[in-house]
């Protein structure tokens, strides 16, 4: 019998993840505030939930993947939320990128109610999610990990069990801090190289052939902004939020992250204007604009 899944949150990353589950034989009941996203999944055979409560009821696993901490707390802990409606013995798999302390709060609420809990933030880009090639950073006890493993295998091809509940969220904060900081360095480097007269092709080949190589240049930029596409993807606004999570975590641990603080300031400045809702690869367009040059293209 197919695993029954209540899937809540059909955004840029959630929609392709849900699509992979639906096309691979899982029994999906989906909910999102965007009716068009629900239509896309119901056209593939998923069932339409009219509320969070309806999505949660009757599910073996409830998945939430939402923009920020406040959304998760409202959807999971609210009076008409997941925990008020989830079936006994079910598992909540929370896949959002949120503050680790909020993940701990949700995990504790699940434990108090006897509900299994897994935090499994998503790595890689939307294009990987669309191909079923996502990476997952999983925080879970052994029993819950085994219960959600078939779903993770259907949605991705790299699964890292990072430890107990909450450790997936902590791993995601660290990983996103790394990649988002590198994205800003790449944007600056490409702006400098363009100003100096180097072609993107030359810079790309040199980058790929040295230890400077990185996915932000070789995968993100070449598939988005360098093709003239800055539609999200993963927005500057969300990138700013994730960088803030890392800086807040560092402050709590009395750790200074000076390079990260500088990158956060750039994301903050970029989101103050027309790039807020654009893909974070638009950092390059923002940097080129400040330098008074055209954004290079492949």
Closest CA to 267 of 236, 288, 229: 236
SS (H, E, C) 210-249: CCCCCHHHHHHHHHCHHHCCCCCCCEHHHHHHHHHHHHHH
How does DSSP assign 164-178, residue by residue? STTHHHHHHHHHHHH
Place of tokens 């056209």: 43
φ, ψ for residue 292, nearest 5 deg: 75, 30
Query: How far apart are alpha carbons 180 and 281 in whole angstroms?
Result: 10
Closest CA to 114 of 148, 81, 141, 87: 87
Pick the catalytic residue from 4, 19, 105, 172. Answer: 172
229 by Cβ neighbours in 10 Å (0-12 / 13-18 / 19+) ranks as middle
φ, ψ for residue 160, nearest 5 deg: -115, 110
- How far from each other are the two terminal CA atoms of the chain, in whole angstroms? 48
Scored b (16 or more CB within 10 A) or e, 236-263 reads bbbbbbbbebbbebbeeeeeebeebeeb
> What letter does residue 293 receive in the DSSP assignment?
S
Question: Which residue blocks in 93-141 are alpha helix, DSSP H?
Answer: 100-113, 126-130
Is 172 noted as a catalytic residue in this protein? yes
Q: Give me the active site residues, please.
A: 172
């Amino acid at each position: 019998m197919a695993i029954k899944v209540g899937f809540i949150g059909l955004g840029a990353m959630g929609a392709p993840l849900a699509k992979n589950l639906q096309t691979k034989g899982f029994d999906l009941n989906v909910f999102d505030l965007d009716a068009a996203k629900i239509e896309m999944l119901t056209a593939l055979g998923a069932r339409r939930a009219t509320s969070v409560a309806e999505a949660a009821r009757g599910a073996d696993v409830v998945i939430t993947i939402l923009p920020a901490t406040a959304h998760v707390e409202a959807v999971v802990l609210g009076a008409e939320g997941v925990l008020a409606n989830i079936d006994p013995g079910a598992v909540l798999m929370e896949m959002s990128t949120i503050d680790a302390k909020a993940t701990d709060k949700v995990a504790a609420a699940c434990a108090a109610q006897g509900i299994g809990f897994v935090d499994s933030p998503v790595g890689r880009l939307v294009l990987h999610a669309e191909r079923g090639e996502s990476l997952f950073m999983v925080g879970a006890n052994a029993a819950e990990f085994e219960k959600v493993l078939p779903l993770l295998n259907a949605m991705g091809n790299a699964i890292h069990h990072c430890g107990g509940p909450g450790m997936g969220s902590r791993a995601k904060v660290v990983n996103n801090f790394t990649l988002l900081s590198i994205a800003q360095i790449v944007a600056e480097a490409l702006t400098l190289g363009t100003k100096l007269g180097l072609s993107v092709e030359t810079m790309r080949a040199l980058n790929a052939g040295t230890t400077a190589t990185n996915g932000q240049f070789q995968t993100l930029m070449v598939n988005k902004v360098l093709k003239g596409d800055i539609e999200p993807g993963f927005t500057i606004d969300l990138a700013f939020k994730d960088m803030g999570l890392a800086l807040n975590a560092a402050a709590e641990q009395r750790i200074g992250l000076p390079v990260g603080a500088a990158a956060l300031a750039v994301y903050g400045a970029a989101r103050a204007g027309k790039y807020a809702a654009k893909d974070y690869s638009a950092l390059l367009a923002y940097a080129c604009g400040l330098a008074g040059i055209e954004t290079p293209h492949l």
